[in-house]
């Protein structure tokens, strides 16, 4: 059964917590005070002035810490890459990949991060992590290293789901150098017919 179907079918079982009885008394009191609200005080100009000064100071401090923040970003990147390398479960590895992608989403590709991603592609990692890495790498279609590594992975990968993802990726990149690994897949007796079919279709497209 699919996860979605399971949750939808057992939805009522997820509502098993009870609101503590003592909370009802608390609510009655709150309801009474809410129905008889006290008059609100008008903020004085003085307060507004203090707030503006505080805001200006905060702005200055923010500006002053800009450089420090930059250093912290580098440190954060190193920690995330380290965490990725040390992930001992599939879910923690997947989470680390997503975290890196989120944190550095709008930035130029980073060599350290790319290297860590390439390592996952080459290693004996799980399919979900590899697919997540491929998605992340595809955000840099013009990077030659990214293209090289995706083609290399296409030639070495044996997991069907990842093979399909790689074929789709290489098709997006319209990479002529993918012909050799595609032929290898087509000739591989152990490759799934679905994978072979996709590889043949892409090869035909690249030969046009």
Partner 1 sequence: MQVYQMYKDMLYNVSLRIIKNQHDAQDTVHDAFIKAFQNMSKLNNDLNLGPWLKRIVINCSLDLLRHKKKLGWLQESYEFQQEDTQTDEFEDISLKVEDVKKAIHALKDKYRIILVLYLIEDYSHKEIAEQLGLKEGTVRNQYVRGKRLLKQQLQNKMIV
The 106-135 site mask, x for binding partner 1 (CB under 8 A), equals x-------------------xxx--xx--x
Among 94, 96, 167, 182, binds partner 1 (CB under 8 A): 94
d(CA 153, CA 55): 52
- 152 interacts with partner 1 by CB under 8 A: no
- 86 interacts with partner 1 by CB under 8 A: no
- 1 interacts with partner 1 by CB under 8 A: yes
Phi-psi region of 93 (alpha: psi -120 to 50; beta: other; left: phi over 0): alpha
Residue keyed to tokens 């930035």 = 107
Q: Over the Cα atoms of the chain, what is R_g?
A: 27
Among 14, 63, 66, 67, binds partner 1 (CB under 8 A): 14
Check: CB of residue 129 under 8 Å from CB of residue 93.
yes
Contacts of 78 (CB under 8 A, 6+ apart): 112
**Interacting residues with partner 1 (CB under 8 A):** 1-4, 6-8, 10-11, 13-20, 23-24, 26-28, 30-31, 34, 89-91, 94-95, 98, 101-103, 105-106, 126-128, 131-132, 135, 138-139, 161, 164-165, 168
């Amino acid at each position: 059964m699919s996860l979605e179907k399971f949750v939808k079918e057992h939805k009522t079982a997820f509502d098993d917590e009870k609101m503590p009885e003592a909370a009802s008394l608390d609510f009655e009191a709150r309801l009474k005070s809410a129905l008889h609200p006290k008059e609100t005080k008008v903020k004085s100009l003085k307060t507004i002035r203090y707030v503006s000064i505080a805001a200006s100071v905060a702005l200055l401090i923010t500006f002053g810490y800009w450089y420090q923040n930059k250093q912290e970003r580098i440190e954060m990147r190193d920690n995330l890459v380290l965490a990725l390398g040390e992930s001992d479960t599939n879910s923690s590895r997947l989470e680390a990949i997503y975290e890196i992608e989120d944190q550095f989403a709008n930035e130029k590709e980073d060599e350290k991060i790319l290297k860590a991603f390439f390592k996952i592609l080459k290693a004996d990692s799980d399919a979900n992590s590899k697919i997540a890495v491929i998605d992340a790498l595809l955000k840099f279609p013009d990077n030659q290293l990214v293209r090289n590594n995706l083609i290399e992975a296409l030639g070495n990968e044996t997991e069907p789901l990842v093979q399909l993802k790689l074929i789709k990726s290489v098709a997006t990149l319209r990479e002529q150098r993918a012909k050799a690994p595609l032929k290898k897949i087509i000739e591989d007796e152990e490759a799934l017919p679905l994978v072979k079919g996709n590889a043949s279709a892409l090869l035909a497209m690249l030969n046009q």
